[in-house]
Amino acid sequence: MNRVIRNVPAIAYLLGLLALPSGVIAQTPTAADSPTPRGGIVALGIIVAFLLVVGISVKLYDITRKREEEGLALQARLSDTLLEDPTLAPLPLAATVHVPFRRSWAPTVEVTGHVPTLELREAAMRTVLDNIARTWPSARVEDRIVVEPHRMRHAAA
């Protein structure tokens, strides 16, 4: 409360300034304050450059988003394919797709998981390769499937 009372003169001064006619407060512009045609051109150039940067950024973001969507679609299709096969469905297998920014670069599909036999590993890779060959033939496939016969027997028991 004491702060408000101490600030009363400052508040009264500000209210007094607001009550003055605008002609009393306003200053007349000088020749140094007037804008030059060159300043307008520079300001316009800065605005155009800013709009170009924003436009390019939005376009790059859009391209990146579309590439990621393509990769996620392929990843979902591969996961569905692995789950549709009755011999591979109960196994912990996953296919992860890494899509680069440029379309000319090949995406990488990483197949990971654990299987009890070498035959199941080959069946899983064959299934993934067949599906990729139809949709994205330039993709690289990395086999990171681990064959662990002992671990799978304990998990089944």
Are 142 and 109 spatial neighbours (Cβ–Cβ below 8 Å)? Answer: yes
Question: Does 22 or 135 have the greater pLDDT score?
Answer: 135
Question: Alpha helix (H) ranges present in 7-157?
Answer: 8-19, 22-25, 37-84, 118-135, 149-156
Tell the CATH superfamily of the 37-156 domain.
Cation efflux protein, cytoplasmic domain (3.30.70.1350)
Q: What is the pTM of this model?
A: 0.62
Helix axes 118-135, 37-84, angle to 10 degrees: 140
Tell me the β-bridge partners of 144: 112
Residue 155 has pLDDT above 70, yes or no: no
Residue 151 has pLDDT above 90, yes or no: no
Are 125 and 145 spatial neighbours (Cβ–Cβ below 8 Å)? Answer: yes
What average pLDDT score do residues 20-42 get? 61
Largest CA distance in the chain: 94
Are 135 and 142 spatial neighbours (Cβ–Cβ below 8 Å)? Answer: no
